[in-house]
Amino acid sequence: MTHSATAASPCPTQPGARQPGSKPPSFQDLILALHAYWSRQGCLILQPYDMEMGAGTYHPATTLHAVGRKPWAAAYVQPCRRPTDGRYGENPNRLQHYYQYQVIMKPSPQEAQTLLLDSYKELGLDPLTHDFRFVEDDWESPTLGAWGLGWEVWCDGMEVGQFTYFQQVGGIACELPCFEMTYGLERLAMYVQNIENVYDLDFNGRGVTYGDVFLRAEREYSAFNFEYANTELLARHFADAEGECAALLARKLALPAYDQCIKAGHLFNLLDARGVISVTERAAYIGRVRTLAKACCETWLAGEQD
């Protein structure tokens, strides 16, 4: 399953640039193209993790597998929930639920940048017609105790991805620094399809739009996130998740414990969206989630070395 050196060299792919007049890929075609591409690069194609989370990085396939000495390469789509970004379906660029395409390769392959640029070619973005750039963007996740160095990937002035060389995860220095690539799928699709409102995205190439699928969800979840989520319940669940995480860690059950950490992270995001967390409390909540994340990564690592 390790990522072999030969896979790192630019592999033969379908001709990148689309023929003039040909139809741009639909939202789901885009995902299928990325799956096919990264599968050819030796990545496991995983499925979304079945829990609510704010970014694809929280998937155990990234957070836990980033630590330790075992090589790893995976790609997957992860639905991301960012309650504070909800706009009741009224903003053409902001969603409280959207999809990230996440790639992680450990250790980072020699030709990571080339692999990435080739993936854009695969989607029809030719680097001799478009302006691709790597613009400094150091990444940090205070809740995961993680940081890395890398870039925003720009295409014609638009950020079409984030490229990070992880240096630390869960407070643990990455022994084999990995490469993480995150594509914001809606934004990328909007660019490829030349659409200005996310709800107008062509979802399947047969007349279904992104709005048909998600507009109602955006409205309802915005109301839930901002107005109706029961904050007492959320605060209680946060404490429960925290307690359960600690209890499971005592049993050295890293994965179930980490589920509780993910849960706590999302509950914190909801509380934040409801506006009931003061600035000082905010830092404290983040610290509590980080403590869980660190303990989970340590337990995971210890289990791996057994």
Distance CA 149, CA 208 (A): 39
Q: How far is the CB of 20 from another protein (least distance, A)?
A: 11
Number of residues that bind another protein (CB under 8 A): 43
Beta bridge partners of 105: 73, 179
The smaller minimum CB distance to another protein, of residues 170 and 242, is found at: 170
The smaller minimum CB distance to another protein, of residues 140 and 212, is found at: 140
β-bridge pairing 72-81 and 44-45: parallel
The token pair that represents 250 in the structure block: 């005592």
Distance of CA 282 to the CA centre of its chain: 22
Distance CA 251, CA 248 (A): 5
Q: How far is the CB of 49 from another protein (least distance, A)?
A: 25
Q: How far is the CB of 210 from another protein (least distance, A)?
A: 16
The smaller minimum CB distance to another protein, of residues 159 and 244, is found at: 159
**x-or-dash string of contact with another protein, 156-175, rule CB under 8 A:** xxx------x-x------x-
| By CB under 8 A, residue 13 contacts another protein | no
**Which DSSP symbol is given to 203?**
S
The smaller minimum CB distance to another protein, of residues 129 and 230, is found at: 129
The token pair that represents 10 in the structure block: 């630019």
The smaller minimum CB distance to another protein, of residues 5 and 45, is found at: 5
> Is residue 22 within 8 Å of 193, Cβ to Cβ?
no
Which range touches another protein (CB under 8 A), out of 49-57, 107-115, 228-236, 292-300?
A: 107-115
Q: How far is the CB of 102 from another protein (least distance, A)?
A: 19
| Tally of residues, the chain | 306
Which range touches another protein (CB under 8 A), out of 26-34, 55-63, 89-97, 296-304?
A: 89-97
What is the radius of gyration, based on Cα positions, of the chain?
Answer: 20
Q: Strands (DSSP E) along the chain, which ranges? A: 44-45, 72-81, 97-106, 132-136, 139-141, 146-155, 158-169, 172-173, 179-184
The token pair that represents 77 in the structure block: 């789509």
Of the candidates 45, 47, 133, 142, which one interacts with another protein according to CB under 8 A? Answer: 133
| By CB under 8 A, residue 280 contacts another protein | yes
Cα–Cα nearest to 49, from 75, 81, 78: 78
Q: How far is the CB of 177 from another protein (least distance, A)?
A: 5
> Is residue 164 within 8 Å of 134, Cβ to Cβ?
no
Q: Which residues bind another protein (CB under 8 A)?
A: 71, 91-94, 106-108, 110, 112-113, 126-136, 138, 148-151, 155-158, 165, 167, 174, 176-177, 179, 191, 194, 196, 278-280
